[in-house]
Amino acid sequence: MEASVNLGKIRGIPIGLHYSWFIVFGLLTYFLSMPGGFLQEFFPGWETTTYWIVAATASLLLFTSVLLHELGHAFTAQHKGIPVKSITLFIFGGVASIAEDSETARDEFAIAIMGPVVSVAIAAFSFVMWMLVSPFQEQLQAIFLYLTIVNTVLVIFNMIPGFPLDGGRVFRALLWGWTGSVEKATRWASMTGVMIGYAFIILGIFMVFVVLFTGIWLILIGWFLQNAADQAYKQMQVRRTFEGIRVRQLMEPNPVTISAYASIEELVDRYMLGRNLRGLPVVDEGILAGIITLNDIKGTPREQWSQYRVLDRMTPRESLITADPDTDLDTVLHMMSERDFHQIPVLESGAVVGLLTRGQIIRFLQLRQSLPDYTPTVQRMEQDTPPGGSGGSVEQQRAQSD
């Protein structure tokens, strides 16, 4: 999930706000301060401005609590040697984007449980502060009472044993340790998450007729849970499918390239129209210089095509991602998804020896899924695959920066 607003970094982890955060922040502040809301129900008699200030402060501190919760996951992952890409706060709370899966059930348990542990600590701290300030400061009393309640609720909700909630991840870790199979554990935990999501949706439908906002919120949470649980299991299946597969086994060997000094006119007439290519690697004395695509030349008037070289319009190498033939396919797929690239050049000593496209990966995945009972042997595939990859026409693939 991409952040709309970047807040900086903590221990090298980018912290950001998704646009949906602003929506829920405004709604939460309003419902806390409105007549009949939490603050006016338990702390009557304040001025309207005071209600709004306290409500906004409480909302900000709630999301601070969520951030600390996610940092609990993130710092534990870093301690286990697992990189953390980012933390993003959004409409349903927050999410720590951890780059890799845990290698053991013990590590998975430690990472999953640390978020709720942090929330329990925040709830306990807020409760103590509420007791201390209650005799003399009503506004602080209201804030700490709210933080005590909401963090307690967050712990209870997060520990529901449905993937991908923290409780579901703890459940998966326990199943993993018991069965010895992360795939089986993920499948069971995901199925539980889907069922819990549908239960929230059904409950929300009934609640709509009692408390409209609560019902809608439960439906949204249920939809998010069942969808996230289903997608988490599918993503795990994809990663397992690509485990042990190398780039050289799927790449297009010896792809069509063009000189950096060729004209745009030659690029279009000879390659894009002549060979039905949307884009291709650009080389300079046999070394990759960049990639040129249809999108790169759309802004150049037709009458100027003969005046510009490919070098003038290409995406330079430093803006690309590349791989070598022995790179793990799952690593490359992650980079392609993160940058939304459709193909990447495969290099040896700077020279283009292949091209790996998203289309080739999808075809392999479809073939693998059509043989559910077959586990590919990497050694057999490497023996049966000709040097350079699987063949196929690069002309049928989309270019990297389309």
Please give the positions annotated as active site. Answer: 70
Distant-in-sequence, close-in-space partners of 69: CB < 8 Å, separation ≥ 6: 93, 94, 115, 116, 118, 119, 122, 154, 158
Secondary structure class of 238 (helix, strand, coil): helix
Helix, strand, coil % over all residues of the chain, rounded to 5: 60, 15, 25
Whole-angstrom distance, CA of residue 337 vs CA of residue 189: 25
Smallest CA-to-CA distance from 334 within 235, 228, 237, 249 is with 235
Whole-angstrom distance, CA of residue 108 vs CA of residue 331: 20
Smallest CA-to-CA distance from 243 within 183, 287, 191 is with 183
Whole-angstrom distance, CA of residue 395 vs CA of residue 144: 63
Distance of CA 320 to the CA centre of its chain: 20
Q: For 134-181, where are the alpha helices, taking DSSP H only?
A: 138-158, 166-179
